[in-house]
Amino acid sequence: MTQSSATVGTSTYLKIKRDILFGALEPGAKLKLDDLKARYSTSLSTLREALNRLASEGFVDAPEQRGFFVKPVSAKDLGEIAHLRVLLECHALRLSIANGDTEWEGTLVAAHHKLHVMEQRMLSGDESETEAWKRYDWEFHQALISACKSSNLLSLHATLYDKYLRYQMLVLTHRGQEAAAEHREMFEAALARDPDRAVAALKTHILKGLEHTVEAMGEAEVSAEITVQSPGSAR
Amino acid sequence: MTQSSATVGTSTYLKIKRDILFGALEPGAKLKLDDLKARYSTSLSTLREALNRLASEGFVDAPEQRGFFVKPVSAKDLGEIAHLRVLLECHALRLSIANGDTEWEGTLVAAHHKLHVMEQRMLSGDESETEAWKRYDWEFHQALISACKSSNLLSLHATLYDKYLRYQMLVLTHRGQEAAAEHREMFEAALARDPDRAVAALKTHILKGLEHTVEAMGEAEVSAEITVQSPGSAR
DNA sequence: ATTCGCAATAATTTCTGATATATTCTTAAT
DNA sequence: ATTAAGAATATATCAGAAATTATTGCGAAT
């Protein structure tokens, strides 16, 4: 549970990133350095290093001279990210299917198994381990493309995945049954070395997820506005 | 000429990045903090912030507890980058051609004109302004895809472009005539709203550049090995 | 010769505190 | 209501030092 790591810098970087991804730090929130210093119990310099890393990855905004802010969210941004993920992940999947050896098949089988078990548990109503579930989801998607032989591609994809994940965590509602079916389809198509089928499934998977999340965002936005407005202050 | 900017942090970030891109800081070189402190005349904390940004963009390696190193180069890495650039830039070009309005056409015409003039000057033997020439090349490629309507895509592309550029600067030899022709082809096809033709030209442009650079790297590598070996010390 | 362990050295990581500068908030005035 | 000046707050930057970790050099042992 605890996010430990060799260096204090990296570990606070990971902690802040996690808090952004899972919504503990809200979109658009001002990141006051003194507050963060208390919250993550670390020094100013270390904090700023972490924030600079996050800023260059796009999880934090850092307008000059005005400090740091959690990156705001928007349906437009989510759309861009989903489409980029389709572009990169589908491309990587093709390469991976073409290049993958037996070792790769092994990791894939393992990853899908673990994800599948977790999905069954979620479907039966156990919502207690969303975070673990998401980790298995990541491991599965990662395994699918892991044989693409481009570390540059893998690292771009990792960042995109995290950005997409943030939106999913934001709306806290998922497409359990359907997503599980799509995962199975991708898995089987990849093992069968059928790139077209696998890519089609992956594309559907991401775009359906996008649709679903955008809808949920729309609702959330409306209810947020209602909550925020003082009664009768419609201007 | 001077790289000035509002904040010291950003300006040293830019300076270091420039020194990496244009080879003043050699691939693989150790970035000793005390040396950098002298070289860029700034404080430790500011330096580390800049280096962390560069590390998360992939221009610097930062193995835990062991400091910072200029990212090494390799033909494999260049290949990955070129192919990613093809993937992203071609995609963006299609979107841009589909979405671009008259305003976009205007910037494109202007960018191509400036690049063209500079190319003529370079072809006639004036090698004095490589840096300016490269800036116009960037402006042109940027203009081509600027109407793609995805700021996420544009920013990923910008980083990839810089990484690719670094390799070009490394070998210091360019394909003047051919590159100019390819630029013209892209330009005309884009204005004619012919995505297939434009994308084909762009793909050729990048992949020919890759080929050319890899060859030049091979030669450079050989001559470097010869230079380094003390005479007769073949092991 | 090579390897191994250990001390000496060097470098990085992290923190504290201080200053200058920019932004934001408050208050007063138009 | 808007603006302007001044006060309060926050950020950006720097210097120095403590703590931790890596690297180097040297002598002993294989």
For A138-193, the pLDDT digits (tens) are: 999 999 999 999 999 999 999 999 999 999 999 988 788 899 999 999 999 999 99
**Alpha-carbon span A122 to A133, nearest angstrom:** 8
Residue in B with minimal Cα distance to A9: B64
Give, in Å, how far the C1' of D30 lies from the CA of B224: 38
**Cβ–Cβ gap A64/B7 under 8 Å:** yes
pLDDT of residue A3: 62
Residue A63: nearest nucleotide (C-alpha to C1'): D11
pLDDT of residue B92: 98
Tokens linked to A131: 């975070």
Interface of A with B in 192-221 (CB under 8 A): none
Residue in A with minimal Cα distance to B78: A152
For residue A28, what are the contacts with CB-CB under 8 A and spacing of at least 6? A69, A70, A71, A72, A73
pLDDT of residue B227: 43
Q: Which amino acid is at B112?
A: H
**Cβ–Cβ gap B84/A153 under 8 Å:** yes
**A80 CB near a chain B CB, below 8 Å?**
yes
Question: Taking the CB of residue A177, how many other CB atoms lie within 10 A of it?
Answer: 10
Q: Closest by alpha carbon to B190, among B98, B110, B113?
A: B98
- The angle that helices B130-145 and B176-191 make with each other, rounded to 10 degrees, is 20
For residue A49, what are the contacts with CB-CB under 8 A and spacing of at least 6? A9, A13, B48, B49, B52
**A6 CB near a chain B CB, below 8 Å?**
yes
**Cβ–Cβ gap A52/B55 under 8 Å:** no
Confirm whether pTM is higher than 0.85.
yes
Q: Which nucleotides of D are covered by protein (CB under 7 A)?
A: 10-17, 21-23
**B4 CB near a chain A CB, below 8 Å?**
no
pLDDT of residue A128: 75
Residue nearest to nucleotide C24 (CA to C1'): A66
DSSP state of B213: H
**A94 CB near a chain B CB, below 8 Å?**
no
Q: Residue A127: is its pLDDT beyond 80?
A: no
Q: In DSSP terms, which residues pair with A69 in a beta bridge?
A: A30, A61
CA distance A103 to chain B (A): 22
A82-92 pLDDT tens trace: 999 999 999 99
Four-residue CA torsion sign, B20, B26, B32, B37: negative
- The angle that helices B44-57 and A44-57 make with each other, rounded to 10 degrees, is 30
CA distance B85 to chain A (A): 10
A210-231 pLDDT tens trace: 999 999 998 776 666 554 433 3
Residues A116, A184: contact at Cβ < 8 Å?
yes
Average pLDDT rounded to a whole number, residues A90-108: 98
Tokens linked to A143: 């395994």
Mean pLDDT per 10-residue interval, chain B, length 235 residues:
76 98 96 96 97 98 97 98 98 98 98 95 82 93 98 98 96 86 97 98 97 89 51 33
Residues A84, A210: contact at Cβ < 8 Å?
no
Four-residue CA torsion sign, B27, B32, B36, B39: negative
Tokens linked to A233: 């202050």
**B24 CB near a chain A CB, below 8 Å?**
no
pLDDT of residue B131: 84
Residues B68, B60: contact at Cβ < 8 Å?
yes
Domains of chain A: 8-70 (1.10.10.10), 75-223 (1.20.120.530)
Going from the C-alpha of B107 to that of each of B101, B103, B141, B188, B220, the distances in angstroms are 10, 7, 11, 14, 38
**B88 CB near a chain A CB, below 8 Å?**
yes
A1-51 pLDDT tens trace: 456 668 999 999 999 999 999 999 999 999 999 999 999 999 999 999 999
